[in-house]
């Protein structure tokens, strides 16, 4: 297996092993769609390195759905236009056991800030504080899913032979969740605890890990699970590299290896 294909398979495994953000009926009225897959590898069609993480996950989702004999993909990445202007995009239209489904695919990284907002869902924010779980849930409920019911979407459905009255809407929402070092997972009641993937610390507390080794994966590499066969950085090298991220107000995801060999994912954030 080539190194590129090996890397693609590690990314795919990271996606597969990430849990759905909730397992019960709905959050914000949004119902999950997550048929189980027995796939454990992919082929060379996923070797493109030009895809953003979100688009790569969309391709992984479509690939796994295509292997399910009860699912038929009508179309993916469907642009809805008003005249010549694109007003939105539907991630996927499919059929499962004769039921047509509009599916939106989401993969996110959220950090739990107990001082942000008032509820459990409020507390989850993006690593750079420029997005949040609540914002995404609102956007899905109020903008992305209602797009299907705009008059401009009707020609798309008619062309595919889909009866909008029979169409159900689902999300495939996966996420990696990160807690402060001093916070117990007991705080998590609504979301799926299997999504908990590590911790985060402010840069000021970085000396807590001065006896460890580190690796800073690319943004695409955030998707995969920790790999031991990488070029680990010493603490002084790591501090120097992370300082550059702090100046740019960017919070990198890092892999940490403790002296006893234990490893974990850790965000170092520029905000306190």
Q: What is the mean pLDDT of the chain?
A: 92
Domains of the chain, residue spans: 3-197, 198-269
Burial class (CB in 10 A: 0-12, 13-18, 19+), 16: middle
In this prediction, residue 49 has a pLDDT band, given cuts at 50, 70 and 90, of low
Query: What SS3 state is found at 41?
Result: coil
- Give residue 39's pLDDT: 74
Report if pTM > 0.75. Answer: yes
- Non-local CB neighbours of 82 within 8 Å, separated by 6+ positions: 152
Tens digits of residue pLDDT in 83-110: 889 999 999 999 999 899 999 999 999 9
Tens digits of residue pLDDT in 187-201: 899 999 999 999 999
Q: Rounded to an integer, what distance in angstroms lies between the CA atom of residue 10 and that of residue 212?
A: 24
> In terms of pLDDT, which residue wins out, 51 or 185?
185
Mean pLDDT for 235-244 is 97
112-122 core/surface letters (b: 16 or more CB in 10 A; e: else): bbeeeeeeeee
In this prediction, residue 45 has a pLDDT band, given cuts at 50, 70 and 90, of low
Q: Rounded to an integer, what distance in angstroms lies between the CA atom of residue 58 and that of residue 89?
A: 13
In this prediction, residue 79 has a pLDDT band, given cuts at 50, 70 and 90, of very high
Asked if pLDDT for residue 40 goes beyond 90, the answer is: no
In this prediction, residue 6 has a pLDDT band, given cuts at 50, 70 and 90, of confident
Q: Which of 24-28, 159-163, 258-262 has the highest mean pLDDT?
A: 258-262
- Give residue 193's pLDDT: 96
Asked if pLDDT for residue 44 goes beyond 70, the answer is: no
- Give Cα separations from 266 to 52, 98, 239 (angstroms): 21, 44, 14
DSSP 63-86: HHHHT-TTEEEEEEEEEEEETTEE
- Number of residues written out for the chain: 272
């Amino acid at each position: 297996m080539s190194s590129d294909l090996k890397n693609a398979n590690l990314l795919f495994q990271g996606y597969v092993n990430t849990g759905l953000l909730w397992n019960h009926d709905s959050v914000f009225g949004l119902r999950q769609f997550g048929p189980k897959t027995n796939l454990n590898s992919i082929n060379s069609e996923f070797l493109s390195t030009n895809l953003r993480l979100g688009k790569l996950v969309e391709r992984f989702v479509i690939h796994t759905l295509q292997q399910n004999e009860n699912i038929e993909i009508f179309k993916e990445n469907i642009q809805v236009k008003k005249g010549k202007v694109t007003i939105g995009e539907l991630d996927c239209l499919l059929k499962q056991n004769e039921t047509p489904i509009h599916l939106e695919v989401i993969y996110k990284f959220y950090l739990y800030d107990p001082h942000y907002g008032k509820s459990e869902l409020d507390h989850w924010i993006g690593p750079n504080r420029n997005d949040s779980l609540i914002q995404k849930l609102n956007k899905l409920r109020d903008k992305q899913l209602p797009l299907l019911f705009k008059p401009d979407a009707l020609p798309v459905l008619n062309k595919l032979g889909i009866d909008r009255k029979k169409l159900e809407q689902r999300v495939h929402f996966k996420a990696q969740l990160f807690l402060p070092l001093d916070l117990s997972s007991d705080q998590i009641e609504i979301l799926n605890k299997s999504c908990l993937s590590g911790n985060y610390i402010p840069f000021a507390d970085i000396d807590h890990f001065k006896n460890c080794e580190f690796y800073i994966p690319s943004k695409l590499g955030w998707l995969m699970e920790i790999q031991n066969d990488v070029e680990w950085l010493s603490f002084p090298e790591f501090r120097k590299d992370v300082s550059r991220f702090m100046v740019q107000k960017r919070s990198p995801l890092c892999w940490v290896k403790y002296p006893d060999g234990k490893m974990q994912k850790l965000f170092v954030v520029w905000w306190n």
